[in-house]
Amino acid sequence: MEVVLLERIERLGQMGEVVRVKDGYARNYLLPQKKALRATKSNLELFETGRAQLEATNLERRTEAEAVAEKVNGEVYVVLRQAGEAGQLYGSVTTRDIAGLVTEGGMTISRAQVILDQPIKSVGLHDVRVALHPEVTVAVVVNVARTEDEAERQARGEAVGAEGERLAEEAEDAALAAEEVFEDEDAAQAATDELEAAVEEVAEDQSDTPASDDAEAEEEKTDD
């Protein structure tokens, strides 16, 4: 089916363009959402008649969306969900969930404005796009965690779940290995100190020892 777009549609076209789409997509989304009209002769004439008004309305809405975007872009929304040890959720976080979070945060949006290629099914930080306007899209972060503490750790950039446990174990092993190295170095230093002390003690004893018997005998011979 050919339709004329009444607004910009991502990956489809700009306002006023005539494009061919699948019949189901047109009937179930574009036409009922008033995002397009069938590209009939009468509808094309109707669009051209009201084009100036459509463009003015679009500009006004885009300006409003841009103002909101400055406040929302980069915002982080926390979602608490149950998950297994590996971080896989028992369920998923959908566009409906994200729309609810953003709305609770003070900006009303619909699930259709949330651009999500596939449902979120694991804990972690997930980048999600939100279309405030056909020409204005912002990026928000959905922090999915099992607990508030885990969400805070993720926000600080710490690994959690199985990966976090693995990194923690590696860090602990490294710390233990470092302690053993220091202990070995301390033991070696102690042995060195003991050896040096023993050498010094022997040297002192030798300096305090009287002349040997052979030396005394040699003196007696000389006297005779």
- Of 150, 165, 180, which closes a domain? 165
| Range(s) of the domain holding residue 45 | 2-71
pLDDT digits (tens, 9 = 90+) for 90-113: 999 999 999 999 999 888 899 999
Task: Tell me if 208 is assigned to some domain.
Answer: no
> Per the structure, how many domains does the chain have?
2
pLDDT reading at 57 higher than 80:
yes
Say whether both 58 and 118 belong to one domain.
Answer: no
Residue 170 lies in a domain: no
Q: What is the DSSP letter of 17?
A: -
Tokens of 197: 């002390």
Structure token pair of residue 184: 């070995």
Same domain assignment for residues 154 and 89: yes
pLDDT at position 180 over 90:
no
Report percent pLDDT > 70 for the chain: 76
Residue 61 tokens read as 């809405």
Domain of residue 21, CATH code:
3.40.5.10
What is the token pair recorded at 71?
């406040």
First-to-last C-alpha distance (Å) of the chain: 139
Domain boundary among 133, 148, 165: 165
The model carries a pTM of: 0.64
Query: What pLDDT, on a 0 to 100 scale, did the predictor assign at position 168?
Result: 47
One domain, residues 110 and 130 = yes
pLDDT at 136 over 60: yes
Domain check: are 143 and 158 in the same one?
A: yes
pLDDT score of 163 more than 60: no
